[in-house]
Chain A
């Protein structure tokens, strides 16, 4: 009896560790897709698993742990982004710092510049369009799960993602046209 109880307690204690080993990278990607900064994404990942730890024994009763984690990671990352936006109001987007004409070939520089521009364009989108677009770029999340995370229908996720892509395309074309 005592041996069984100890084994059960150990199993319950191991639940967060198992979750960490299985889903840490997935959580990190969600956090990174929102925060776009490796250090912030890792901090957010730590925070997500600390929240998971507080659930204790209840974790074992959660059916779809991945979707549940995705929701927590999303909430944590969005909260962190809001806090950071408040703290660093008026400062430039971090992506712009990546543009460094002094390094490598022209093509790499141009690619880096375009990625920075893309990041800036995505961050400039309204959150209604940006959130479905950002989440749909993650391979591990199906549109149905994105819909659950954002509390909207799957059709809305698809249509908003499409609209967001159209806006990005238009703006990239406009930028390209203004340059040439």
Chain B
């Protein structure tokens, strides 16, 4: 892939506007991308703080630090903050920064909408986190907001519903922007099957968001009318069906899992070829596998509900459909390994996170297959095995890719190389403490420890203590990431336009840091 950059050689003559007002009014994709990233990092620490309170409470049996109501509120808001406040905005930040650079567009298709999409997020986050301060505390129904608890809850449930509505609107507008940028704004000559893998994964993710965020919005709207306007969609006391909420919620909820992992696949598909110094193995199969995972995600929601009481045919269908997802996911994992095969591999920090991702995400994928088996799930449902499973998918999956991607593109964003030694220390601290935290939770789950309960039987104490020690190490290790990022922004070795020897793509043809305006004239894409 080559691109002429004569056309944008003078880009850096533009100067970014200054002053605080710049960030409120900016329509620049790089500014908005950075704001999403910082917002995500702040929410990551807010959600992480809640996780540490949860793990502190679980350090020993009995009730020590928070009462059971607050414990439930912490698990609920921890999940919502991490999903909607940390992981999703981080990937939208990547989309904002990278997609225009990767497809040779001057900006996102609808730059003002882009500004609005971002500025909807802080009020939504304030509603979520601020709900701890209202009478009765935050929503304690779990992030799934299942009735009847969510119908009975106080005003904090309304705040949570409003936050979900706002974040959903932001996601839908962001998705429309991303789809339009990719489909309409690509540089001439960049056909769909020549797009970078990250762009493909985001195109598919954006369609998933457009399909399922309105479903969540519909579900919580009906919840709201049940609470305040006399309807009985989900209220059994009035003839409604709480199980229907679960079906609608998980029709959103399962694709949501892929919304949080497909962009991660995209990032990893750039890091591994760069540091293996080989093109991505099986590009077309990667695209088709991503699309297959997305399509399958719509027909597996019932695997979250095996214990609800579905007909055997329903259980069987959802079990087999879920197992089917392992096929395209396996294609991707084998393609990454094949990319490494006979590569000229070096292990800079992004590559460490990428290999950590492939290894640990695969463990989460396998425990997902275990949970897909209906009779096994009936035993393991609502135990710590499930908690271990989805943290392997979401932390060592989504978060590892976000960290790896940050180290990979920081030179392009800041113009400086990050501190490689500190980056590697951060990776090893994170990888080791992550496993100390979450691997024992498999054993706790297999032994029958239920999730979302602040107390437990004494025989679970040792594994819980190991897990809590790991969690504190994991949490405080992330302060090192913050330090490395700030240090990189403030200075360091000057980064080349092509910061990594093996990197390919249009983003590496512009100077580092990327000028405020890029590709005002579309690049010639050969």
Partners in one complex: no
Where the two chains meet, the residues of B that have a C-beta atom closer than 8 Å to any C-beta of A are none
User: Which residues of A are interface residues toward B (Cβ below 8 A)?
Assistant: none
